Amino acid sequence: MEDKNKAYSVLIASTASFTVCFAVWMMFAVIGIPLKKQLGLNETEFGLLTAIPVLTGSLVRVPLGFLTDKFGGRIVLFGCMLATILPIWCIQYATAYWHFLVLGLFVGVAGGSFSVGTPYVARWFPKNKQGMAMGVFGAGNSGAAVNKFIAPTLIAAGGWVLVPKVYAIGMTVMAVIFWFSSFQKKEHLVQNSASLREQLAVMKDPRVLKYCQYYSIVFGGYVALSLWMTKYYVNEYGFTLQSAALLAACFSLPGGVLRAIGGWMSDKWGAHSVTWWVMWVTWICLFILSYPQTDFTIVTVNGPKSFHIGLTPVTFTILMFIMGMAWAFGKASVFKYISNEYSHNIGAVSGVVGLAGGLGGFVLPILFGVLVDLTGVRSSCFMLMYGVTWVSLILMYFTEVKGQHFLEVKPKQAT
C-alpha cells in the first residue's frame, strides 16, 4: 500500500512539473507575437524564434533518458527544472533577436523533462498500467494550453516582459514542490555499465526508427502547431492576441489532457490499433485544413458568378480540436509500443523517440515560416503535415497491417 501511495504521489508531482516545464517550453508561441512586431521579424525568423527552445529540449532528451536510467528520475528532473530558472528570468532583459535565440536555447532544457518523467513514472507501475501512467504524465503537454491562458493575460497586464518573470517564479516553486512530493527506488535504476554510445545503439533498430516517424507527427506536429496557431488565428482571421490564444488552446488543451485516455485505450486495445486510427483521423483533418481561402469566378449562362471556398473560424477550430484529440491518443499509443517492447531500456528508447518528436517540433515551425514567405499561403503548414502523415500511413500499412515486414527484426525478449 505504501508503494502504491508513493507511485501516485510520484505520478501527480511529475505530471504537475511537466505541465509547468511544457508551458515554459512553449512561451515564445505567445510572447513571440509582440516580439515579431517589436523586432521586425519575417515569418521564417518568427518560426525560428518560437522553435529554438524545442531544439535544445529535443537534443537533451537522449542523454537525459540515459541519466534517468542510471541515476533515477527524481534527481534528474529536479536538476532540469533548476537549470532553466535563470535563463527564463533573463529573457525580460533581452533586446536583440540573437539575445532571445541564445536564451531560448537554455530555456529549452525544460523540454527534456519528458524523457526523464516517462521512464521515471512508468517504473512505479505494473506493466498492465504503464500505458495509463505514461498517458497521465504525458497530459502535462497541456502546459501548451496553460501558456495560452496565462501569457496573454500577463501581456495585457504588464507587457511581454511580465511573462518570463512570472514563469521563472513558477518554475522555482514547482521544483521545490516536486522534490518534497517525489521518491526514488534503487530497484528502478538500470544496473549495468552500458555507455551512452551503447544505449544509443537502439537507433539501429528499425522499429525504433518507425516509432520515431510516428512520434514526429503526433508530438512534433503538436508542438509545431501549438507554437504556430496563435499567430495563425491573428493573421488568418483577424482575432486579437487574447482571443487567438484562447481559440488555439482548443487544439492544445485536448492534445494534452486526453493523453491519459490514450494510455488507457492503448492498454485495452493495443498500441497498433490506436495509432492506426489516429493516423487516419489526422489524414482526413489535414486534407480539409490544407485547402486555402479561395475566391473564383466561373462563366454561367447568366453571366460571371463568383464563389468563395474556405474554412470559417468555427469549422477550423472544430477540425483542430478533433486532430488535437487524435494526437493526444497517438502520443500515448506510441509510448505503449515502447513500454511493451523495450521494458529493459525504456529510458534510452523513449529518449531517442522523444528526440525525433522534438526535432519535428523544431523543424516544422521553421518550415511553416519558409513556406508562407515563399508562397504567401498560410494553410501551407497543413499541406506539409499532410505529406508527413502519408509517409507514416504507408509505413504502418506495409510493416504492421499487411504484414510485409520491410523492417524485419527479431522481437526482443522482455526482461
Task: Inform me whether the pLDDT recorded for 415 exceeds 90.
Answer: no
Task: Inform me whether the pLDDT recorded for 358 exceeds 90.
Answer: no
Q: Which domains does the chain have, with CATH numbers?
A: 2-181+196-401 (1.20.1250.20)
Cα–Cα distance measured from residue 218 to residue 397, given in angstroms and rounded to the nearest whole number: 17
The residue written with cell numbers 499541406 in the block is 383
**pLDDT grade for 191, boundaries at 50, 70 and 90:** low
**pLDDT grade for 1, boundaries at 50, 70 and 90:** low
Cα–Cα distance measured from residue 235 to residue 241, given in angstroms and rounded to the nearest whole number: 10
| % of the chain with per-residue pLDDT over 70 | 92
pTM surpassing 0.85? no
Single out the residue of 186, 214, 192 nearest to residue 280, CA to CA.
Answer: 214
The residue written with cell numbers 522534490 in the block is 179
**pLDDT grade for 359, boundaries at 50, 70 and 90:** confident
> Which residue type sits at 360?
G
Task: Inform me whether the pLDDT recorded for 167 exceeds 90.
Answer: yes
Which sign, positive or negative, has the C-alpha torsion 99, 100, 105, 107?
positive
Cα–Cα distance measured from residue 100 to residue 14, given in angstroms and rounded to the nearest whole number: 28
Q: What is the mean pLDDT of residues 334-362?
A: 79
For the chain, the first-to-last Cα distance in angstroms comes to: 25
Cα–Cα distance measured from residue 175 to residue 110, given in angstroms and rounded to the nearest whole number: 12
Least reliable range by pLDDT among 190-194, 254-258, 395-399 = 190-194
What single string gives the DSSP state of each residue in 181-238?
Answer: H----GGGS--S---HHHHGGGGGSHHHHHHHHHHHHHTHHHHHHHHHHHHHHHHHH-
Task: Inform me whether the pLDDT recorded for 186 exceeds 80.
Answer: no
Q: What is the mean pLDDT of residues 122-138?
A: 81
Q: What is the mean pLDDT of residues 129-154?
A: 85
C-alpha dist (Å) from residue 303 to 15, 86, 294, 306, 308: 62, 67, 20, 10, 17
Task: Inform me whether the pLDDT recorded for 410 exceeds 60.
Answer: no
